[in-house]
Amino acid sequence: MLAQSGTRLQALPVTDASRNERTLVLAAQRGEREAFSELVRTHGRRAYAVARAIVVNHEDAEDAVQEAFLHAYRALHRFLPDQAFGAWLHRIVANAALDITRRRKVRDADELPETVASPFRDPAEANELRQRLQEALEKLPARQRAVIVMHDVEGFKHAEIGTMLGIPEGTARSDLHYARSYLRGVLGSVRSEL
């Protein structure tokens, strides 16, 4: 594999993990179901994190992941084994989650992941803060919500987020900026009110 560094192309190191993943992809493309099952086990957690960042609740995230893996299985013949399977899959997951978000106009409120609310340790404040944060996140456009959760909670880099959501890296940075600005404005006085 090649990576661009400045103006020169450099060979990326081939790791045992990438070699094993390539072997699994080729086997899955030949119809070996166990190979695809191993790819699902390998990428399932991260796929769920991507979906959850976009749809906000557990049930929709599970649906998005299931739809994405089904789509990936059906489209596996189009996947080029020299690509990164995880990046390809996560883009499918992001698109499935965004589709679910678009289809759902009325959303049931679900508890935010603990990782979002964890900076707020006082149990007396936790429920009120969690509710306000969730309400604020739900008012963000789906893509901005996805970007802020994927970056600030899940730890993805701007380039990774761009790849998964099919947007330029600069757009991911811009969405993060606007999402943080909105949340600061809405939640800026929360601590002083409680």
Q: Three-state SS for 5?
A: strand
Q: What is the C-alpha to C-alpha distance for residues 65 and 90, in angstroms, rounded to an integer?
A: 9
For 142-150, what is the mean pLDDT? 88
Residue with tokens 């072997």: 23
Q: How confident is the model at residue 5 (pLDDT cuts 50, 70, 90)?
A: very low
Q: What is the C-alpha to C-alpha distance for residues 111 and 92, in angstroms, rounded to an integer?
A: 25
57: left (phi over 0), alpha (psi -120 to 50) or beta: beta
Are 172 and 54 in contact by the 8 Å Cβ rule? The answer is: no
Q: How confident is the model at residue 184 (pLDDT cuts 50, 70, 90)?
A: confident
Q: How confident is the model at residue 122 (pLDDT cuts 50, 70, 90)?
A: low
Could you give all domains of the chain from N- to C-terminal order, each with its CATH number? 16-103 (1.10.1740.10), 114-193 (1.10.10.10)
Note the Cα 96 to chain centre separation in Å.
11
In angstroms and rounded to an integer, the radius of gyration of the C-alpha atoms of the chain is 19
62-91 burial string, b = 16+ CB within 10 Å, else e?
A: ebbbebbbeebeeebeebeeeeebbebbbb
Going along the chain, which residue ranges are E strands? 2-5, 8-11
Q: How confident is the model at residue 71 (pLDDT cuts 50, 70, 90)?
A: very high
- The first and second tokens of residue 126, run together, are 């936790």
Q: What is the C-alpha to C-alpha distance for residues 135 and 108, in angstroms, rounded to an integer?
A: 11
Global pTM?
Answer: 0.56
| Cα end-to-end distance, the chain, whole Å | 54
Please check the confidence at residue 34 and state whether its pLDDT lies above 90. Answer: yes
Q: What is the C-alpha to C-alpha distance for residues 20 and 14, in angstroms, rounded to an integer?
A: 10
CA-based nearest residue to 19, from 77, 84, 80: 84
